[in-house]
Homo-oligomer: A and B are copies of this chain.
């Protein structure tokens, strides 16, 4: 789609004000957009319209969808806790196809390679377009300009915000759960399709017009814990299998063995140590990538040596974090998703392994969230530029291949560190200008590369603290120059005018767009 009207936003990117026929606000700067109006208000319900004995079970998903009034043009939401093992989203659209329904908007919290099955429905018009992070094949499909309409990528918190604010109205939410009761209470900690949590479906349960709970492990009421409350659920459905266990969560998570990435991790931990971030009662968040896992291990070593502990660690949880919890190095894990079986086990066994949701952790349109309370967060990026702006969704060739996840939300932590290689496949990671701005540089504090650490000039406190360390502190321009010296000046990606996706900031404003790849 080409856009008649593009305006320059607060980070200098040209973005449309109308996307898929609806108005959107360009990014105005961090904390500048003040939402007006009220939370989205779902229709009032009455118990009189629901079975008094609480049994909401219907015979199958098709019946539930038909009873929910599935029709052309609706918005259907799913969550991604089953990751690449999800069997539900494909099933929904197979049914929609069978029923001859057209023009649906799919609103997943993320899509995975297993959803390549849906390309046929994008092509035949069953699905109009997708709003949600697109990992892999659907991202590629979209990058090639093949999807009708424009993709809209939101962070985990931004998705909650969009639903809460009524920016996205969900007609039917289909929520898969490892375990549920017939009333619709559900959790992800039990059952053969256990996914640990169901928090990404929280907004869907609270705000969707109709909510269908699907499980392959129905238990007698009450399903405890109820991560999703049955009081929001219209119908429950039992399927043979809601997910492929080995694709839902990896049996084990592995720390990187790459010496380069281990060095990055160690350098990151050394930086945190030297600048006083690792101290009694501190808090941290690291992702599930190999480097991030290694950072946690270096943190643990330093904490043992100092005889201190952390007050809390934010998950995505994994066996290394669970070990730290069980060793007493952290008081609490505040978890948003479990990345391996040990995470699921710990969430079940440990009262101080606590489930969170995009509402508690990341929703920007509330009276505060948890992100700002985290002392240090370790994140990834595909590119960083000399203004510390960072990209996490596109590669340097312009391909849209990743979602935002909680990345944008985490930028509000007290210190944000991006450990990144200076280049990948001889393409610089530190560049003049990132292909896609996902987060503004003012919130990104430290870039750790194997050839030096750059501190954002805004963080004079960190610069001061790092001054007398033996850390390899450089400027971001020095890092960029080194990268270009080795790899040469990188080429700009070759792109069409056509905008294929919009990237939302945490407050619902448009921070950047992604354009179609040239053949």
Contacts and interface: CB of A to CB of B under 8 A. Distances in A.
Interface of A: 30-54, 56, 164-165, 183-184, 211, 220-222, 224-226, 229-234, 281, 311-312, 332, 334, 351-352, 354, 359-360, 363-370, 372-373, 412, 414, 507
Contacts of A38: 41-44
Given A40-B41, A47-B412, A231-B359, A373 B224 contact: no
A313 to B, nearest CB: 11
Contact of A231 (B41, B44, B363): B363
Contacts of A372: 47, 51-54
Contact of A507 (B46, B233, B354, B373): B46
A54 B373 contact: yes
Given A39-B44, A231-B359, A372-B54, A221 B367 contact: no
Q: Which 3 A-B pairs rank lowest in CB-CB distance, beginning with the nearest? A: A31-B48, A38-B41, A41-B41
A373 B183 CA distance: 9
A224 B354 contact: yes
20 contacts: A30-B48, A33-B46, A34-B48, A35-B44, A37-B44, A39-B41, A39-B42, A44-B365, A46-B507, A47-B364, A47-B372, A50-B367, A51-B368, A52-B372, A52-B412, A53-B414, A54-B368, A183-B373, A222-B354, A229-B360
A232 B367 contact: yes
Nearest to A211: B367
Nearest to A229: B360
Contacts of A222: 311-312, 332, 334, 354, 370
Given A224-B332, A231-B363, 6 more contacts: A50-B367, A51-B372, A54-B373, A230-B368, A231-B369, A234-B367
Contacts of A412: 47, 52
A412 B368 CA distance: 38
A35 B48 CA distance: 10
Nearest to A55: B373
A365 B45 contact: yes
A145 B30 CA distance: 56
A73 B51 CA distance: 41
A47 B351 contact: no
Contacts of A365: 44-47
